[in-house]
Amino acid sequence: MNIRQYLDSTYLKTAIQAGISEKENVEIVKGFIQEAIDEHFKLIMIRPEMVSLAKKMITEANSKVDIGTVIDFPDGNSSLVKKLEEANQAMLDGADDLDFVCNYEAFKKGEIDLVKEEILKCTQLGLNHHKVVKWIIEVAALNNQQIIQLSALIKNVIMSNFKEESYASVFVKSSTGFYKTENNLPNGATIPTIIMMLENASPLPVKAAGGVRTYEEALDMIRLGVKRIGTSGAKTIANGEVSKSEY
């Protein structure tokens, strides 16, 4: 199977997080964008400030690679106004996919109306501009019951407010890849987690992000029913090798 059309090749580190200069970090981003073009991946997933760079490179290469970016990353606890502003700017810069970090801490506190409103308004914005919207629920910050409940909540908001033809454009996504867990526990997609998401988000598609490091693991996710896989080791995985990347 050619899994390249399932892979969202991902680089989301800031220069500070990578321990390098801004200039060096931009060069790494350029390398990821060029690799996505050369390898015909589904999408390049980068930070908002890098979207215009990706748009320029992809346009010049006459490539079909989509551009994705993260909104309110990685904590998801900004105001709805901030989320909408950031998403608007990303679309102006050329983003095709908007991966919003859901305010999972508000959800855990029982602030359900706040979470429902941001899911509704942000999804509305993306769909009105013919974009793909993904909701990152940060599974490592949730227990199993919360994973089930938040996946179902997103599904219910979408099914109650949008037409069926929109469902394929609204994903539930597992992880940012940046959440700090205790005792080195997984902070991304695992088989049990993805099964819970698939069972409770359907008919919305699911994206497995974080922790998929081999071709076989990617195939396992696809066989389960995952429609996208986020990884910073996309080329390695596509070539059947083991990725040593953190995300």
Question: Is residue 228 a part of any domain in this protein?
Answer: no
Question: Is residue 141 a part of any domain in this protein?
Answer: yes
User: In the prediction, which pLDDT does 1 show?
Assistant: 79
Q: Is 93 marked active-site?
A: no
Q: How many domains does the chain have?
A: 1
CATH of the domain at 193: 3.20.20.70
Give the domain range for residue 21: 10-206
Answer whether residue 31 shows pLDDT above 70. yes
Residue 41: pLDDT band with limits 50, 70, 90: very high
Question: Is residue 72 a part of any domain in this protein?
Answer: yes
Answer whether residue 245 shows pLDDT above 90. no
Q: CB of 194 within 8 A of CB of 216?
A: no
Global pTM value: 0.96
Q: Is 99 marked active-site?
A: yes
Residue 2: pLDDT band with limits 50, 70, 90: confident
Question: Is residue 17 a part of any domain in this protein?
Answer: yes
Catalytic residue among 99, 134, 155, 235: 99
Answer whether residue 186 shows pLDDT above 80. no
Q: Is 227 marked active-site?
A: no
Question: Is residue 19 a part of any domain in this protein?
Answer: yes
Answer whether residue 217 shows pLDDT above 90. yes
Q: Quick one: average pLDDT of 219-225?
A: 97
Question: Is residue 3 a part of any domain in this protein?
Answer: no
Report the C-alpha gap between 99 and 84 in whole angstroms. Answer: 12
Q: Quick one: average pLDDT of 131-153?
A: 97
Question: Is residue 185 a part of any domain in this protein?
Answer: yes
Catalytic residue among 131, 134, 155, 207: 207
Catalytic residue among 83, 134, 155, 173: 173
Q: What is the pLDDT of residues 203-212, one digit of tens each?
A: 999 999 998 9
Mean per-residue pLDDT over the chain, rounded: 95
Q: CB of 228 within 8 A of CB of 205?
A: yes
Answer whether residue 159 shows pLDDT above 90. yes
Residue 247: pLDDT band with limits 50, 70, 90: low
Question: Is residue 76 a part of any domain in this protein?
Answer: yes
Report the C-alpha gap between 40 and 215 in whole angstroms. Answer: 16
Task: Determine the residue type at 215.
Answer: Y
Answer whether residue 246 shows pLDDT above 80. no
What is residue 98's three-state secondary structure? strand
**Paired tokens of 149:** 């409940």
Residue 142: pLDDT band with limits 50, 70, 90: very high
